[in-house]
Structure 1
Amino acid sequence: MKNKLLIGTLLLCLGQFSCSDDLLVTTDPTRIGTDLFYKNETQFLQALNGVYGQLQNITSAAYIFQEFPSDNTTLDFNPLDRGGAAGWEAFEFSTVNQGNGEIANVWNLYYSALYNTNYTLEKLAGSTLDAAVKAPIEGQLKFLRAYFYFHLVQYFGDVVLVTSTLDKPDKAFELVRSPQADVWAQIEKDLKEAVPLLPTSFPASQLGRVTKGAALGLLGKVYLTQKKYSDAVTTLKQITGYSLNAVYSDNFNPARKNGPESLFEIQYQGGNDLGEWSTFAYVFAPRLSAGAVTGFANTTPGGRNIPTNDMIAAYEPGDLRKDASLKTSYTLNGTVVPIPYVIKFTYPHTITGRTDNNWPVLRYADVLLMLAEAINEQSGPTAEAYGLVNQVRTRAGLKALDGLDKAAFKAAVLRERRVELAFENHRWFDLKRTMTPAELTAFMNAHGAREKAKPTVDRGGIAFNALDYVYSDYEYFFPIPAPQILINNKLTQNAGYQ
């Protein structure tokens, strides 16, 4: 993403508060103050690009919070280095606590992005930009704010809801968590306001920006998550102009970015020194695979997001998506190593560690499956609902579904979502959306028991901890980071983490 402008939280003093001390009234000739910025379309687009840029950091670690907690993925266990045990590994083993560093990081990433979003929206509202120029910028920012809160409310439940910047620093210590209902209402409001402001498409030079279709897609998902099925159906049926790629893997091929199936994807660019590259292939490759997976030797892949035995078994015989999504082994120095790995984001690239893969957020296949689910919840498995899900299955080389009752159709759609959207950060939210906390607890403990009995990856003789894969219903939400409660004692902790 070109012209990325990261407007950091240090603007708190520069942009919001009066700093009267003469020692602070200095001018850095290499920086532009906020009083001189936000004056024209170019500058607002730079500020908007800054928020898009923050999406990259959020997305690069999202698998930790949206795939690891589920039954989709595990890790290539390293018995010689347990440094990640208290951090990212805890999300796989259901041992997350309020002191977890990844929890603190994700909270900070989202609220930093929200600050910049709110600040830019405020400046935009007071600007003299032409309404036709202002509208799509406002629409994109409101979509992004809704997207951030869509994650936060599902991660943490009640969260701090802020839609404006603060005029005094002391007010930050008065913030409290808002009820989930209020957060969902704000998400809906932002998206409904964004839809009419956004174009159906942007010029080729601006591919990847949020469009009307993306806002409708997220709004439909918001309604589905809240079980507002009628609203979900009405909204999702407004999405037009998209189609399934003929070849499933084209959704992930860097040479076919932002294709006909893409409603929204996070933009990355490899092969240069611009700092916009992705690294998913390296993070997801088995840790001792060296260059066998990535193509570059003398590297140490992350061994994260490893497909579980359960995930591998979820594919029906003949499903064309399996070979485009994962491999069950790699070959190094002539030896076959039986460790599975995600291949969706593994493509040839020119510079070590700098891949060109975008990350899909909303695809038309997702829309079809959401719509089929919502129709079934309203009316049972109608011909229309079958037609939607069978479009996805036909591309995968599978026979059409037929003859199911409402419950069986719902289960079939959830299974279809699992394999169609595998490793794209949908599974955890899908499980939470379709199960009560008690049901999810039983489901995850059953998965954990299978993983303990037959680990996907050999653990090198290291036994499981007694608390590993022991899931409790309070883990339906993550804990509020301990540092945030230390900073602001008005914030409460989620039950179970006390």
Structure 2
Amino acid sequence: MKKITVIGALLLCMTQFSCKDDFLVTTDPTRIGTDLFYKNETQFQQALSGVYGQLQQITSSAYIFQEFPSDNTTLDFNPLDRGGAAGWEAFEFSTVNQGNGEISNIWNLYYSALYNVNYTLEKLATSSLDAGVKGPIEGQLKFLRAYFYFHLVQYFGDVVLVTSTLANPNQAFDLVRSPQADVWAQIEKDLKEAVALLPATYPAAQVGRITKGAALGILGKVYLTQKKYTDAVSTLKEILPLGYSLNPAYADNFNPARKNGPESLLEIQYQGGNDLGEWSNFAYVFAPRLSAGAITGFANTAPAGRNIPTNDLIAAYETGDLRKDVSLKTSYTLNGTVVQMPYIIKYTYPHTITGRTDNNWPVLRYADVLLMLAESINEATGPSAEAFDYLNQVRKRAGLAPKTGLDKVALRDAIMKERRVELAFENQRWFDLRRTKTPAELAAFMNAYGAKEKAKPTVDRGGIAFNAQDYVFTENEYYLPIPAPQILINAKLTQNPGY
């Protein structure tokens, strides 16, 4: 995929302007210009689908930024190939710097998607579409803008806040980072407007699109992240009468045959088994690198060995927790030999074409809503029967005894532990750690985890010692650095401290 910087993404609007030089005025007969597009519902739905496609791209690598940095996962270390050490591996070992290519990639992906959201919203505002058609499209676009900025503000802190396209491409060089408070305010505004515009359900042909429930759930999480606990409680409770429920079996949330079930508020849609380019491949990315087809089911494949469950996470499961065997395994058998190596099983299901799985990615489940409610109530007013009930609904499905009689601190810890195992490998852990700890607390926590991993690595390192900087987490790493190319392009952007 062609890389597009923030300014590059914004400069795409240059194609909308006429040029004075005649030799530049050309029409590509294979393309529909913007003056001819955005004319009817079908075209707006196509534009919206394009942004959903970008959401797929963002989600496909999100584990690098939302699981790897945490204590949940590590990597199947390859002593013969250190090519990823300065890129994706750096998120596991806390050695990220401003030149990291993965950071540039996500920055470009998010801002390219945001440009498309803003441009489509502007075209939608001046369109003649019926309000009943326009409203849901607008709601989905505003949700997506909020969702993208929800990630960006947690990754980087102050970020470039752009909610419209530029009248002149030169204006891109004047963009600066907006204070977090402004970004959070825009996120809340977009989500509130999305809630008002989105339907609770869609016709069968549109199942999987963003709903009112999804907007309420992410808004509740936005409030929770900002420690606006009363707002979180009231918002999350609006979800309760919308008809969601826990699946009877935990595994139903990840089975491709049961996509978009009663527990799903939002999952990123993928489709395997064809040549349409919509497939996922998480099973291949997460399987141990030397497992060949033992896990994926297709021989002569080379899994990536990323997102390996840590010893620390495996130990967090209580005896009898039904979720453990659905989420991970601790060994596999290859050519009759048992290999001791943990791996994620949650996204591994039979499929028909090598590397093209049919698994969706869960973004928001009803179990998450229940646990957020328990947490918000506990933080707002302390332990209560209601808070325990929400927590214990999740525990009951997992086959575990209910929690009772805990004080506020103990209940807080119990909820966080429950979130860790319930939502393991769903890209929730890193953001949970960040929002519940100060930078100093997070640094202490991650350094303690790193010391354990160094003392007893989850994965054999083939005789390669840890680097002196591995698992040395400093307070400034609470935020990622702004990508170095962005600062080279626009000198008005500032770098986060410590990088």
1:106 is displaced (CA, Å) by 0.4
1:20 is displaced (CA, Å) by 2.2
1:18 is displaced (CA, Å) by 2.7
Aligned positions of 1:45-60 closer than 5 A: 45-60=45-60
- After superposition, the C-alpha distances for 1:322-358 in whole angstroms (9 at most, x for unaligned) are 0000000111011111110001100000000000000
Identity of aligned residues (%): 82
1:13 to 2:14 alignment:
yes
Aligned positions of 1:41-80 closer than 5 A: 41-80=41-80
Q: Which amino acid aligns with 1:14?
A: T
Provide the secondary structure at the position in 2 that maps to 1:305.
strand
1:192 to 2:192 alignment:
yes
Matched with 1:301 is 303
1:379 is displaced (CA, Å) by 1.3
- After superposition, the C-alpha distances for 1:231-286 in whole angstroms (9 at most, x for unaligned) are 00000000021000000010000000000000000000000000000010000000
Aligned positions of 1:25-424 closer than 5 A: 25-239=25-239, 240-424=242-426
- 1:318 and 1:21 map into 2 onto residues whose CA distance is 72
Matched with 1:4 is none
1:493 to 2:495 alignment:
yes
TM-score, normalising length from structure 2? 0.97
Provide the secondary structure at the position in 1 that maps to 2:461.
coil
Q: Which amino acid aligns with 2:298?
A: F
| Residue in structure 2 matching 1:477, options 476, 479, 483 | 479
Q: Which amino acid aligns with 2:333?
A: T
Q: Which amino acid aligns with 1:177?
A: R
CA contact (8 A) 1:9 1:116 kept: no
- After superposition, the C-alpha distances for 1:148-196 in whole angstroms (9 at most, x for unaligned) are 0000000000000000001111100000000111000000000001101
TM-score, normalising length from structure 1? 0.97
Provide the secondary structure at the position in 2 that maps to 1:338.
strand
- 2:405 and 2:193 map into 1 onto residues whose CA distance is 40
Provide the secondary structure at the position in 2 that maps to 1:264.
strand
- 1:487 and 1:56 map into 2 onto residues whose CA distance is 27
Q: Which amino acid aligns with 1:180?
A: Q
Provide the secondary structure at the position in 1 that maps to 2:341.
coil
1:13 is displaced (CA, Å) by 1.9
- RMSD in angstroms over aligned alpha carbons? 0.8
Q: Which amino acid aligns with 1:373?
A: E
1:10 is displaced (CA, Å) by 7.0
CA contact (8 A) 2:479 2:496 kept: yes
1:11 is displaced (CA, Å) by 4.1
| Residue in structure 2 matching 1:443, options 425, 445, 449 | 445
- 2:179 and 2:197 map into 1 onto residues whose CA distance is 28
CA contact (8 A) 2:11 2:172 kept: no
- 1:322 and 1:24 map into 2 onto residues whose CA distance is 60
Q: Which amino acid aligns with 1:445?
A: N
Aligned in 2, Cα 1:427/1:458: closer, same or farther, shift over 3 Å? same
Matched with 2:5 is none
CA contact (8 A) 1:191 1:216 kept: yes
